[in-house]
Amino acid sequence: MLNWIWLGLILVSIAYASFIPGRMVVVSEALLDGASAAVTLVIGLVGGMVFFLGLTRVAFDGGLRDWIGRVLARLTRRLFPAVPPDHPAMGAMIMNMASNMMGLGNAATPFGLKAMSELARLNPHPGAASNAMVLFLAINTSAITLFPPFGTIVVRQATDSADAWAIWPPTLIATTCSTLAAVCAYYALGRLAVFRHRPLANPPAIQLDDPAEPEEADAGPVETREPVTLASWLVIGAFAIAVFSGLGLEAGRLHGELGFIGTFKQLVRSWLLPLLIGGLLLIGVAGRVRVYDSMIEGAREGLQVALRIVPYLVAILTAVAMFRASGALDLIIAAIDPYTSSVGVPAEVLPMAFLRPLSGSGAFGVMSEILTVYGPDSFIGYLTSTLMGSTETTFYVLALYLGAAGIVDGRHALAACLIGDLAGFVGAVLACHWFFG
């Protein structure tokens, strides 16, 4: 699908520009400018990507993901009653969800593949998705992300945002809406006759290959832990007392000026980043991690991620720049803007909304181009940034996970996931209007 979208952007740009005198020169210049802008943007991304993925790795090694997994275990036993609590599928699903909640998509994928493979072994209807598979996919593609969307925030910083972290609370609200809607859709659609299990005429002969064990797929640093000392606990306690005392004083000062809601918004915008950084480091300290060594390991991964997205950004930003320079995008926006604006959605963000379920890299490129053109701190910039983190790449995840389990009939998985995507979009719009007006 992305192949046709990318090809269509370029061909339509050239064809449309050919009917407007002098426009082809503008399109040619936009091609080169778009490619140059992509490389410049990546240079600005590298530092932030390296630093924040390094911090995430510190918390990862400190045991945060394991703790989240233990909390989720109680919930997953209720959501997946057909899966035995001690079955490998249950453990893989829990670790997949915990990784997604931390924003560690690369670490989540091996667990997800393992979970689908193990669920296939429990499936009484080979070739057709079981209820547990459908629910797992609905949760996976709409996963609540507790951590900030670091990649999006770094792009906002690279485009000179005055408040790059302001999108974190709206993104959390949007992902919550997405997950709740997807889970509710799973239960509601599962009652419909059209989505009930039907025997397949020719069930596929499925040979399940065990994916690499998650521990092997994400081994991490060789050994970064050291015995916890009294000095470490003193550092944690002193830091917590100092910071929360300062937070209380700041909240009291702001309450008299801004009231409760205004104080909450201001504290969220100005305090979340420092508290997050300090919290991640202290998790590493409490988990007996040598935080500097762990940080370096995570930073190396961040550098690889930043370099890996260069081709995608160059391809997408060049195509979108040509499409915009040709005038075709302005024509489309002018046609649909009266309808979308009436419900509080600028037409300029719709390309992002349509592309997000199809391709993460493509959506990342479109978001970068929108922030560059309209500014990261405009309402369009805020909403586009929030949409980037509101859902997953639904079609990619479904194709990957269903294929790994040998499923040819996904039943209501696609419908539940798309309903989650729509709820994430609506939640992002409402949250951005509440936070940014």
Is residue 345 packed enough to be buried (19+ CB in 10 Å), middle (13-18) or exposed (0-12)? buried
Decide if 271 is inside a domain: no
> Has residue 177 got a pLDDT over 90?
yes
CB 401 within 8 A of CB 175: no
**pLDDT of the residue at 104:** 63
Decide if 268 is inside a domain: no
> Has residue 215 got a pLDDT over 50?
no
**pLDDT of the residue at 222:** 38
> Has residue 218 got a pLDDT over 50?
no
Is residue 248 packed enough to be buried (19+ CB in 10 Å), middle (13-18) or exposed (0-12)? exposed
Q: Which residue has the higher pLDDT, 217 or 201?
A: 201
Of 12-16, 126-130, 350-354, least confident by mean pLDDT is: 350-354
> Has residue 73 got a pLDDT over 70?
yes
Residue 93: band (very low, low, confident or very high) from pLDDT cuts 50, 70, 90 = confident
> Has residue 416 got a pLDDT over 90?
yes
User: Each residue of 231-263: pLDDT tens digit?
Assistant: 778 888 888 899 889 888 888 888 888 887 778
Residue 204: band (very low, low, confident or very high) from pLDDT cuts 50, 70, 90 = low
Highest mean pLDDT (candidates 82-91, 180-189, 231-240, 318-327): 180-189
Q: Indicate whether this model's pTM tops 0.85.
A: no
> Has residue 196 got a pLDDT over 50?
yes
Cβ–Cβ contacts within 10 Å for residue 199, how many?
8
> Has residue 427 got a pLDDT over 90?
yes
Of 259-263, 290-294, 433-437, least confident by mean pLDDT is: 259-263
> Has residue 185 got a pLDDT over 90?
yes
Q: Which residue has the higher pLDDT, 365 or 107?
A: 365
**pLDDT of the residue at 227:** 56
Decide if 164 is inside a domain: yes
Of 21-35, 60-74, 169-183, 235-249, least confident by mean pLDDT is: 60-74
Q: Which residue has the higher pLDDT, 304 or 123?
A: 123
> Has residue 97 got a pLDDT over 90?
no
DSSP character string of 278-335: HHHHHHHHHTTB-HHHHHHHHHHHHHHHHHHTHHHHHHHHHHHHHHHHHTHHHHHHHH
Residue 217: band (very low, low, confident or very high) from pLDDT cuts 50, 70, 90 = very low
**pLDDT of the residue at 295:** 86
Nearest CA to 170 among 379, 366, 342? Answer: 379
Is residue 22 packed enough to be buried (19+ CB in 10 Å), middle (13-18) or exposed (0-12)? exposed
**pLDDT of the residue at 396:** 73
User: Each residue of 3-41: pLDDT tens digit?
Assistant: 677 788 889 989 999 988 888 999 888 888 878 877 776
Give percent of the chain above pLDDT 90: 15
Average pLDDT rounded to a whole number, residues 109-136:
85
User: Per DSSP, what are the bridge partners of residue 409?
Assistant: 128
The domain in which residue 190 lies consists of 2-198+207-225+289-436
Average pLDDT rounded to a whole number, residues 292-319:
76
Decide if 284 is inside a domain: no
Decide if 259 is inside a domain: no
Cα–Cα dist 327/12, whole Å: 10
Decide if 341 is inside a domain: yes
CB 147 within 8 A of CB 56: yes
**pLDDT of the residue at 277:** 81
Q: Which residue has the higher pLDDT, 228 or 49?
A: 49
Give percent of the chain above pLDDT 70: 85
**pLDDT of the residue at 219:** 38
Number of structural domains (the chain) is 1
Phi-psi region of 338 (alpha: psi -120 to 50; beta: other; left: phi over 0): alpha
Decide if 276 is inside a domain: no
Q: Which residues of 164-188 are buried (b: 16+ CB within 10 A; e: fewer)?
A: bbbbbbbbbbbbbbbbebbbebbee
Average pLDDT rounded to a whole number, residues 74-88:
85
User: Per DSSP, what are the bridge partners of residue 225?
Assistant: 289
> Has residue 44 got a pLDDT over 70?
no
Decide if 218 is inside a domain: yes
Residue 359: band (very low, low, confident or very high) from pLDDT cuts 50, 70, 90 = low
